[in-house]
Amino acid sequence: MLRNIKTALVSVYYKDGLEPLIKYLYSQGVSFYSTGGTQAFIEGLGIEVQAVESLTSYPSILGGRVKTLHPKVFGGILYRSHEKQDLEELERFEIPKFDLVIVDLYPFEETLKSGADEQAIIEKIDIGGISLIRAAAKNFKETLIISEKSQYSELLQILEQKNGATEETDRKMFATKAFVVSSNYDTQIFHYFDQNEEQAVFRQSHNHAQTLRYGENPHQKGVFYGNLAEIFEQLHGKELSYNNLLDVESALALMAEFTETTFVIIKHTNPCGVASAVTLRQAYLNALACDPVSAFGGVLIANRTIDLETAKELDKLFFEILIAPDFEISALEILQGKKNRILLKQKQKDFGKKQYRSLLNGVLEQEKDWKTETVAELKTVTERQPTESDLRALVFAIKIAKHSKSNAIVLAKDGQLIANGVGQTSRVDSLRHAIEKAKTFGLELAGAVMASEAFFPFPDCVEIAHGEGIKIVVQPGGSIKDQLSIDYCNANQVGMVFSGIRHFKH
């Protein structure tokens, strides 16, 4: 049933975009109640406004902390027209019926992000506004709630289409949006107060949603909740897909390990090419040499500006996505030659400290694997001592193993991933897979180092690696049979280093 608006309560922090709505409501004969700056704004439009203080007989007190918290305000919002007693009480206490409430919230998130002190942040926790929003949303059958500035034009369009009236479905829709606003607001406040994570509860809220073409497969629906514009500027190409986003996250996580000029190629969330070099072009060519077959259709990332020479090489490969901190104009001109090729300029590098995964009837949460071993933390456990060059190669290999699906084996040399075996149910199978790939692409294993993201339960991996000319190995250690691997290494002049850190990734 259509319901006309006769009386509106308006009290907002953001007034941009409000004027056209107020003028339309005034043209429809709507009466206004307001407070403070909003009242002055409406009066500045030449429209008469009743001050809320004249209704409540109480001024705004406590520095503006208490303005609208009064039965004469909330009674006019929460009344039920089908309840005779409600209507009698409205008449007895001279309470107006509010058909429309326009109210937004103090900018808590913005104040928090600005680096303000605690007192300024606390003062931006809205009390009256959040109460008005919840009350009006609860009573959507009688009252229409507008809870943020983005809804001003939406309501105006509805009113113009329906001659100043709304239907219950309209009011319920805006009520739903109001609870989106209020729940997100409370979640952000909770996270501020629970910075020490003392409360064993799960609360997350994202107001930005991007509907994807589909999920992991075409028959699955997919949505990304978050604001990708905070992370990237998309310079070219089609919309990112569900699988693209999974690969992009893997690429960003691995690249965060490197400060030297590095290029990474990701396929199905696993690295299939990684190299560091003096020039970006050489880093790319070395990364590509690891597995040019898997690189086809992959996700690429660099930690330096894409220059013209690198772009010329990149343009020879079909890839889905290229991520970089910047692109030379001449490089962009080449890379934009393929219309669907996605080019992303990375802006943000901090993506939080936690990981979440929906599971069974709940959610798993864990800290991200922030630990990466340094040369100083590696412990040699064999008679053969690694050189400084060996140790640097081992750390390079550990970084790649850390970001590879378990079971993972990484073979590396001279700042280049030679081959890796990932996601196998047996560590021996992962090693054999890596060896086969290296030989397939003509990469020399002699002199390479080997890294495992978890310990060796038996000496078999060390035996196989030694047979291929690998002389230095790093693993976390911790197996009850560690000594068997150490004994084999000592008997065959192979060096073994313990990192002390496991990097399972499932």
Which residues are designated catalytic?
138, 268
Would the CA dihedral through 487, 488, 490, 495 be positive or negative?
Answer: negative
Query: Which residues are 232's β-sheet partners?
Result: 346
Q: Which residues contact 427 (CB under 8 A, 6 or more apart)?
A: 407, 409, 452, 454, 456, 457, 461
Left if phi > 0, otherwise alpha if psi is -120 to 50, otherwise beta: which for 63? left
3-state SS assignment for residue 486:
helix
Please report, for residues 340, 413, 502, the alpha-carbon distance to residue 446 in angstroms, rounded to integers and kept in the order given.
41, 9, 26
Q: Which amino acid is at 215?
A: G
How is residue 437 written in tokens?
């790939």
C-alpha triplet 291, 261, 268: angle, nearest 5°:
35
Q: Which amino acid is at 396?
A: F
How is residue 335 written in tokens?
């890379």
Rounded CA-CA distance 290/404 in Å is: 15
Name the nearest CA neighbour of 381 among 244, 291, 280, 476: 476
Query: Which residues are 262's β-sheet partners?
Result: 276
Q: Which residues contact 473 (CB under 8 A, 6 or more apart)?
A: 449, 450, 451, 452, 462, 465, 489, 494, 495, 496, 497
Would the CA dihedral through 333, 334, 336, 339 be positive or negative?
Answer: positive
